[in-house]
Amino acid sequence: MIQSMTGYGKAAAEVGNRKVIVEIKSLNSKAMDISTKIIQAYRDKELDIRSRITAALERGKVDFSLYIDAAAATGAQTINAAIFNNYLQQIESIAAQTDYNVPEDIITTVLRMPDVISTNQQDEVSDEEWAAVSKAVDQAINALVEYRKVEGAALEKKFREKIANISALLNSVEPYEKERVAKIKDRMRASMIDAVGKNYDENRFEQEMIFYIEKLDISEEKQRLSNHLEYFIKTLEEGHGQGKKLGFIAQEMGREINTLGSKSNQAEMQNIVVRMKDELEQIKEQVLNVM
């Protein structure tokens, strides 16, 4: 099964008199791009956390947060006023520059920022404390992976639907394709008669017609597009890690559809091509989210 690069996971750990929250979310990206917000006490664990995220998620734009739940903490805590005000001023300044309204829960948001809240405990984390938080980190990452799988299943269903639609549209081209040849021949014959009268070389005309119609033949494009459609589904069934490959296949499908459009030379066929392009654009848009 394919996976989406969009996901979210959250977990908590009770550590002494405080509750440590772990949150992680991801969006699509060509590579692994991790940004972290980790309270000071666990800052030395960042490399380990990054390593776990990379191993589990492989790629994506990932935001990771590890903070203390101020509402749930029961021990003596201190708000660092200087750091709090610094964060608040930055947010208000950015909001003013971008005409963005500062949210009503801004205080809660700032309290979650790194180093705003500290406890009277030492910054050094015991093995037991880290074991609890480490477990929460793994739980949050696993929750995000499961989220990605659910999103991936939804994407696969959508892809299969779009591929089936393009295949049906491709099959609907055939009647117009045969009709097109007869119309082109009649139109060119009428033009010939208007130009030189009925005294023209019929054999030469037929030879030229064959040459012209061969240029408009779309048999190869239809076959290649059909092959790409089948290959896309086959690649889908290969499961995890096929996002880039699916993107390449979609590009090749686009080439064949564009060629069909340039050779169609008939309104009904061109309408079908437009509809195929619309289905393909939806595939291309969503394939960017696939691992």
Non-local (6+) Cβ contacts of 86 within 8 A are none
pTM above 0.85, yes or no: no
pLDDT band at 93 (very low <50, low <70, confident <90, very high): confident
pLDDT band at 255 (very low <50, low <70, confident <90, very high): very high
pLDDT band at 103 (very low <50, low <70, confident <90, very high): confident
Q: Exposed, middle or buried, 70 (CB in 10 Å: 0-12/13-18/19+)?
A: middle
Window from 74-78, 96-100, 190-194 with minimum mean pLDDT: 74-78
d(CA 234, CA 49): 35
**pLDDT over 60 at 141, yes or no:** yes
Contact 46, 38 (CB under 8 A): yes
What is the rounded average pLDDT for all residues in the chain?
A: 86
Catalogue all structural domains in the chain, each as residue range(s) with its CATH number.
Answer: 7-82+117-150 (3.30.230), 83-114 (no CATH), 153-287 (no CATH)
**pLDDT over 90 at 189, yes or no:** no
Q: What is the mean pLDDT of residues 184-199?
A: 68
Q: Looking at residue 74, what is its pLDDT?
A: 52
pLDDT band at 77 (very low <50, low <70, confident <90, very high): low
**Helix (H), strand (E), coil (C) string for 19-64:** EEEEEEEEECCCCEEEEEEECHHHHHHHHHHHHHHHHHHCCEEEEE
- DSSP letters along the chain, please? ---BS-EEEEEEEEETTEEEEEEEEEE--SSEEEEEEE-GGGGGGHHHHHHHHHHHH-SEEEEEEEEE-TTT--S-EEE-HHHHHHHHHHHHHHHHHHTPPPPTTHHHHHHTSTTSEEESS-SPPPHHHHHHHHHHHHHHHHHHHHHHHHHHHHHHHHHHHHHHHHHHHHHTHHHHHHHHHHHHHHHHHHHHHHHH-S-S-HHHHHHHHHHHHHHH--HHHHHHHHHHHHHHHHHHHH-TT-HHHHHHHHHHHHHHHHHHHHHH-SHHHHHHHHHHHHHHHHHHHHHTTB-
Q: Looking at residue 216, what is its pLDDT?
A: 74
Q: Looking at residue 17, what is its pLDDT?
A: 78
How crowded is residue 251: how many other Cβ atoms within 10 Å of its Cβ?
Answer: 13
Q: Looking at residue 115, what is its pLDDT?
A: 76
pLDDT band at 66 (very low <50, low <70, confident <90, very high): very high
Total residues belonging to the chain? 291
Q: What is the mean pLDDT of residues 258-285?
A: 91
**pLDDT over 70 at 119, yes or no:** no
